[in-house]
Structure 1
Amino acid sequence: MNTRIGDIVPDLDNRTGSAPPHLSVRNLTTSFRVGGQWKKIVRDVSFDVMPGETLAIVGESGSGKSVTSLSVMRLLDPALSRIEGEVLLAGRDLLTLTERQMQGVRGNEVSMIFQEPMTSLNPITSIGRQISEALTIHRDISGREARREAIRILEKVRIPNAVSRYDEFPHQFSGGMRQRVMIAMALATKPRLLIADEPTTALDVTIQGQILNLIKILQEEEGMSVLFITHDMGVVAEVSDRCLVMYRGEMVESGRTADLFRRGEHPYTRALISAVPPLGSMANRALPVKFPVVDVETGKAQPAAEIRDTVDKSRTPVLAVRDLTMRFDITGGLLGRRRGAVHAVENVSFDLFQGETLSLVGESGCGKSTIGRSVMRLVTPQSGEIHLDGYEVMKLNHLDLRRMRRSIQMVFQDPFASLDPRMTVGAAVTEPYLIQKLGPAAEAREKAAGLLDRVGLSGDILHRYPHEFSGGQRQRIVIARALMLDPKVIVADEAVSALDVSVKAQVCNLLLDLQDSMGIAFLFISHDMAVVERVSHRVAVMYLGEIVEIGPRAAVFENPQHPYTIKLMSAVPVPDPARRGMKREVLPDEIMSPIRPVGYEPPERAYRKVSEGHFVQLS
């Protein structure tokens, strides 16, 4: 685009008549000191946020969207950063204020919600006192009045039993409830502008839906403006009036959300919108389909290719799980007596065939990751049977377990935590091969180079370290390491959840290609329903440690039967701006606790057959 975005902004202002913007940003440029020199991270960004409006800043990691919000709030270290341009709040330039004056602005006129509430809340102070503190700092009220107001705000954000929970600490709240506390704290002083920086990225899909609804409702009630930062185009469509797209520190497109979705001009805008197709796009397709990949430079998309049928159900399942039960004891008191148990997995059974992807879906705490760790014997279940490629996993000793793990490998959510930062890529990828004593070091390095090339990386990166790569590249390295032992099964535990949308699409396509060429079976663990719909042959929905519905992907997605399955699917944000005015019912409910008293045994479950291979748990 030849036109500067800054030149477009005045035209956007005219649509609201004479009403001045709450926030007006002009030619914002933020630089960081790198190696003694100033490097521009955000360049010439301009936008307005009008009264009562939600403006979304969208882009992937490294695009500069979060740096933009931190620049607006003046939260960057002044010794290492330099902010230029204008940031006008009600006509006052925030960049000219002293730090003391900015303290009166932050949390009072402008509030901010961050992505991870646990790092934003003080772990040794009750949540009620933290909200009250914000009130007493910015208002001339007594401690008693602040407590009363804090309880009122907690009730407003749908915290149940707000009076009793006032004195509880952050660790006693779930992720969704902690985010509600952050919203309560941000709204305590009735700010003119709320900046929400990826406030739902770390949340389960149903909790995400509740938080998005809550922000909509509170915005209407309080009449505030919202600057919403995200990389999820489904969220953008549901919450924003206008949207600006950032790429490599620059604004590349700006306009009304509906217009951008219908006729976005910049290739990067089109790439973001098409990176993860909406739920329901797989209707009438039985087999997995690759994600469309759009070139961000040209806007041209590779056609979405359907994967050939690699599943061989005529043979014995490569993985068979029967009546798997996993409980974790809870102890307490002076003598450490057993006081209860977390019923993480209860009587779970399923088969996984060679070349098949079975997805386990559900919210945090439902037991899906515990199943993945159990079939690897990273944890030892209380009871049940696990048969893997001829091994009776529950009966294996230490040496046999090592041998068994040649047949099954695991890819975790955070690739950086999965790689030793002190080991080169070559050492990390070849380590499993050498530990299993499958060949000499030279042979291992040759195989590692070939696998790195196969996952889209150059074989000459063996001498480099994990911190030198992006998140998507690190995940490819982890996948290459998992392939070193030629496994028949790979457990992918939220393997793409932490990745940006376009990188997520690329990694999912890589997994589908590997399955197509190598016949690998995937136990795909995720809470991202749109991704699950794209990559799965079969789907098992989990709730409180139990499978409540299981069947072919098409059957489960096109004809969901269990209330929890329906709830999961209805909570997924849809990239359709027409849903902007839609509101779901905002309830304070979250997934129930799996903690049970000593001696508790769950009732025996029965299942109803819906169609061939499709079963649903009876209530």
Structure 2
Amino acid sequence: MLLSATLSEQTGGAVTPVLSVENLTTSFRVNDEWKSVVRNMNFSIAPRETVAIVGESGSGKSVTSLSIMRLLPKNSSRIEGKVMLGGRDLVSLPEEQMRQVRGNEISMIFQEPMTSLNPIFPIGRQIAEALTVHQNISAAEAKAEVLRLLDKVRIPNAKGRFDEYPHQFSGGMRQRVMIAMALASKPKLLIADEPTTALDVTIQGQILDLIKELQDEEGMSVLFITHDMGVVAEIADRTIVMFRGEQVETGGTGDIFHRGQHPYTRALLAAVPRLGSMKDSALPLRFPIIDVQSGEAQPLETVTDTVAKGKTPILDVKDLTTRFAIRSGILGRQTGAVHAVEKVSFQLFEGETLSLVGESGCGKSTTGRSVTRLVQPDSGQVTLDGYDVMTLDRSTLRTMRRSIQMVFQDPFASLNPRMSVGSAVMEPFIEHRLGSKRDARDKAADLLAKVGLSPDMMRRYPHEFSGGQRQRIAIARALMLDPKVIVADEAVSALDVSIKAQVCNLLLDLQQSLKLAYLFISHDMAVVERVSHRVAVMYLGEIVEIGPRAAVFDNPQHSYTKKLMAAVPVPDPSRRSIKRNLATDEIKSPVRAAGYVPPERQYREVSPGHLVQVEA
């Protein structure tokens, strides 16, 4: 009764829901005991409605969607309650009938398309399989329908790309292929599980626009699972907030955003960085942190100016160029090159944060790796703390790297799973012979405390920590050598919104106390605006705009910078009907033929320190 009343109230009349979930509880067997991870979920989805489930990693969002689809392992999971679709309870449906429901009446888009697509089959064949399994059609009819679907999801030259393999597509285009596959049988309900989390901001904007358009055209309902509140505001009619396996608040998206009642809801919203919120601040700002139990904001100290103005830059990069040779043929002759970084120049001062922003493939990470000589540049000058980085031999290079350390995007991949976190943090100190093991242990304990972890955690292993805790461990390890520069390569991109806020605050605190300089590499424009002193926008290996953060964000000049800004999801439910109409082109390829000579670039100064590349 409660479900139908709520649905009627939200949709303006008595409407039969497409999906109705009642008292859904999912448990997993742990040490011969059943442990519930989702408890008493209740919600309905009306025709053409978009319902979002939001919460942090571990809150039960994805388990809820997998329970609806009955995709959890049978031997170690137990699903209770009712999931009603078209008068049938999916929980008690025989497996053979459930197989017909999947992909036919309910389809699902997963977070990582590369692991969802088979790498050994062309994408056309994989989409066609989704059609032939559920429909009695010929191969020719299936191919024609696949081409129509590829056109619908805006994949250019669909006919030419029918026989290409997943690795030949970018992340955004692979996600479009997954959407085409999900839409193949014209489902009543589309479940989108974090479909934009791993994508660049412009590709994310295109995917959100695409889902809105397809929903209008096909009349389907959408269950959207995410931890990005900006995405929720732009796409959801109603929102369900989950916390520790339970549904803590449900309502219209506007009500949730403007009149959220639960402390956890308010904490989530408070941690969302909002583009344009820095106009009154010349310095970086800490993120507000709200206690999820009380809803009270934690007091934050004011950030002070740490930039050493008028001094020699700690890092000085001039005309840095890095290319990767492309070889082909029996003799392996060079036929071209990837122009990953092309004549990039910038300076970084003590206590300053310079952010490099742009889409995947623009050369941000290669720039960071080039200045540390993890990648060998082709030409240019790099001066770091008095070292001429380009001319160092192996021994001196090792010494130089004490002055510059990297924090990578995926801390689990950069931590040895067989090494305790204490040993991992101590290792750089011991390898550089800076003291005894006891000195290393004392310093590691001190740094773990400094990044908000307990020193008694040193005996634990990486898998025993959350993503945010592992990133703190990676930061502690980077600090063991007392570096003057830290290259943070997408260090917060994979983190939940509240964990991201905590790690960003930690980086700002460390900058205050240790006068660290950061080369902050990211595609998250709202986070960049919050933490940066200066910003450099990269496109196809070149810096197209660079300047003080306020100048770049308040007065963007280059067309690519404007495109990046326009693509940022804004946590404002009133924008839900707005489509950005972003161009669906992929970022252009940096591959050039052998012997290609790039044109000389000209820059104009818009305001003091604000330089913009003159567009052709």
Settle same-fold status: TM greater than 0.5.
yes
Task: Give 1:44 deviation, angstroms.
Answer: 0.3
Task: Give 1:306 deviation, angstroms.
Answer: 3.5
Structure 2 residue matching 1:462: 3-state secondary structure: helix
Residue 396 (structure 1) aligned with residue 392 (structure 2): yes
Question: Any idea what the Cα deviations from partners look like across 1:3-59, whole Å, max 9, x if unmatched?
Answer: xxx956633344332220000000000000111111001000010000000000001
Query: What residue in structure 1 maps to residue 97 of structure 2?
Result: 101
| Equivalent-residue separation in structure 1 for 2:134 and 2:329 (angstroms) | 42
Residue 83 (structure 1) aligned with residue 79 (structure 2): yes
Query: Which residues of structure 1 form unaligned runs of 5+?
Result: 1-5
Q: TM-score, normalised by structure 1?
A: 0.98
Map 1:462-477 onto structure 2 (within 5 A).
462-477=458-473
| Equivalent-residue separation in structure 2 for 1:304 and 1:156 (angstroms) | 48
Map 1:199-598 onto structure 2 (within 5 A).
199-303=195-299, 305-598=301-594
Query: What residue in structure 1 maps to residue 139 of structure 2?
Result: 143
Query: What residue in structure 2 maps to residue 10 of structure 1?
Result: 5
The aligned amino acid for 1:460 is: D
Question: Any idea what the Cα deviations from partners look like across 1:553-583, whole Å, max 9, x if unmatched?
Answer: 0000000000000000110000000000001
Question: Any idea what the Cα deviations from partners look like across 1:354-384, whole Å, max 9, x if unmatched?
Answer: 0000000000000010011011110110000
Gap change, CA 1:119 and 1:50, over 3 Å in 2: same
Moved more, 151-160 or 297-306: 297-306
Q: Does the 8 Å contact 1:13/1:48 carry over to 2?
A: no
Task: Give 1:304 deviation, angstroms.
Answer: 5.2
Q: Does the 8 Å contact 2:7/2:46 carry over to 1?
A: no
Map 1:174-213 onto structure 2 (within 5 A).
174-213=170-209
Q: Does the 8 Å contact 2:196/2:207 carry over to 1?
A: yes
Task: Give 1:262 deviation, angstroms.
Answer: 0.6
Gap change, CA 1:304 and 1:50, over 3 Å in 2: farther
The aligned amino acid for 1:89 is: L
| Structure 1 outlier segments of 4+, above 6 Å | none
Structure 2 residue matching 1:301: 3-state secondary structure: coil
Map 1:28-177 onto structure 2 (within 5 A).
28-177=24-173
| Equivalent-residue separation in structure 2 for 1:44 and 1:547 (angstroms) | 51
Q: Does the 8 Å contact 2:241/2:248 carry over to 1?
A: yes
Q: Does the 8 Å contact 2:10/2:252 carry over to 1?
A: no
Moved more, 120-129 or 546-555: 120-129
| Equivalent-residue separation in structure 1 for 2:300 and 2:52 (angstroms) | 28
Structure 2 residue matching 1:44: 3-state secondary structure: strand
Q: Does the 8 Å contact 1:607/1:616 carry over to 2?
A: yes
Structure 2 residue matching 1:100: 3-state secondary structure: helix
The aligned amino acid for 1:363 is: E
Query: What residue in structure 2 maps to residue 3 of structure 1?
Result: none
| Equivalent-residue separation in structure 1 for 2:398 and 2:9 (angstroms) | 68
Query: Which residues of structure 2 form unaligned runs of 5+?
Result: none
Q: Does the 8 Å contact 2:39/2:245 carry over to 1?
A: yes
The aligned amino acid for 2:371 is: V
Residue 611 (structure 1) aligned with residue 590 (structure 2): no
Task: Give 1:305 deviation, angstroms.
Answer: 4.3
The aligned amino acid for 1:97 is: L
Structure 1 residue matching 2:459: 3-state secondary structure: coil
Q: Does the 8 Å contact 1:287/1:306 carry over to 2?
A: no
Q: Number of matched residues?
A: 614
| Equivalent-residue separation in structure 2 for 1:42 and 1:588 (angstroms) | 38
Question: Any idea what the Cα deviations from partners look like across 1:162-189, whole Å, max 9, x if unmatched?
Answer: 0111111111111000000000010011
Task: Give 1:486 deviation, angstroms.
Answer: 0.6
| Equivalent-residue separation in structure 2 for 1:484 and 1:454 (angstroms) | 12
Q: Does the 8 Å contact 1:9/1:47 carry over to 2?
A: no
Q: Does the 8 Å contact 1:107/1:191 carry over to 2?
A: yes
Q: Does the 8 Å contact 1:419/1:466 carry over to 2?
A: yes
Q: Does the 8 Å contact 2:3/2:44 carry over to 1?
A: no
Task: Give 1:274 deviation, angstroms.
Answer: 1.2
| Equivalent-residue separation in structure 1 for 2:303 and 2:10 (angstroms) | 47
Question: Any idea what the Cα deviations from partners look like across 1:109-145, whole Å, max 9, x if unmatched?
Answer: 0000000000011111111111111111111111100
Q: TM-score, normalised by structure 2?
A: 0.99
Structure 1 residue matching 2:240: 3-state secondary structure: strand
| Equivalent-residue separation in structure 2 for 1:15 and 1:352 (angstroms) | 53
| Equivalent-residue separation in structure 1 for 2:302 and 2:338 (angstroms) | 41
| Equivalent-residue separation in structure 2 for 1:548 and 1:529 (angstroms) | 16
Structure 2 residue matching 1:387: 3-state secondary structure: strand
The aligned amino acid for 1:15 is: Q
The aligned amino acid for 2:109 is: I
Query: What residue in structure 1 maps to residue 15 of structure 2?
Result: 19
Identity among equivalent pairs (%): 71
Question: Any idea what the Cα deviations from partners look like across 1:301-345, whole Å, max 9, x if unmatched?
Answer: 125544100001221000000000000001111111111100000
| Equivalent-residue separation in structure 1 for 2:233 and 2:329 (angstroms) | 51
| Equivalent-residue separation in structure 2 for 1:162 and 1:496 (angstroms) | 35
| Equivalent-residue separation in structure 1 for 2:570 and 2:450 (angstroms) | 33
Query: RMSD across aligned C-alpha pairs, in angstroms?
Result: 1.0
Structure 1 residue matching 2:556: 3-state secondary structure: coil
The aligned amino acid for 2:423 is: A
Task: Give 1:586 deviation, angstroms.
Answer: 4.6
Q: Does the 8 Å contact 1:158/1:587 carry over to 2?
A: no
| Equivalent-residue separation in structure 2 for 1:587 and 1:370 (angstroms) | 26
